Amino acid sequence: MIGTSRHVRVFVYARPADMRLGFDGLYARIRNELGVNPLSGDIFLFIGKDRRKAKAILWDGTGLLMYYKRLEKGLFAPLFEPEKCTAQLTLSELQLFFEGSMHVGRIPLSPAEFIPEIVA
């Protein structure tokens, strides 16, 4: 899957996306509709209306990368939330999503973020 050793957020475009969009179209969605910098190094996930296709786009420091998956059987987990424009996943949840887990987005699959306390 997508390997990284740093903290990366995964933003889900929580509305059905047009899977015909390429780099420029998805870049514009991230910038204009999500209000996030597409060059932040975070991952942005887009899911097609029929939930059979998904694209993830990210900036690796030298260019945009796009991961695209089309399912031959089954559907991706329903992550659409009409009242929201975006949702967040962890990298582990993203991997489970691409592997076909239907629990992604329904129940917490990753522990809460650990923020260490600084003791003076």
If one counts the domains in the chain, the total is 1
Residue 29 lies in a domain: yes
Residue-wise pLDDT tens digits, 16-62: 899 999 999 999 999 998 888 999 989 999 999 998 999 999 998 89
Residue 61 lies in a domain: yes
Written in H, E and C, the secondary structure of the chain is CCCCCCCCCEEEECCCECCCCCHHHHHHHHHHHHCCCCCCCCEEEEEECCCCEEEEEEECCCCEEEEEEECCCCCCCCCCCCCCCEEEECHHHHHHHHHCCCCCCCCCCCCCCCCCCCCC
Burial class (CB in 10 A: 0-12, 13-18, 19+), 23: middle
Q: Is the pTM of this model over 0.85?
A: no
Residue 76 lies in a domain: yes
Residue 107 lies in a domain: no
Residue-wise pLDDT tens digits, 59-103: 988 999 999 999 888 888 877 666 666 778 888 888 888 887 777
Residue 64 lies in a domain: yes
Residue 1 lies in a domain: no
Residue 84 tokens read as 């929201």
Range of the domain at 38: 10-99
Residue 119 lies in a domain: no
Residue 110 lies in a domain: no
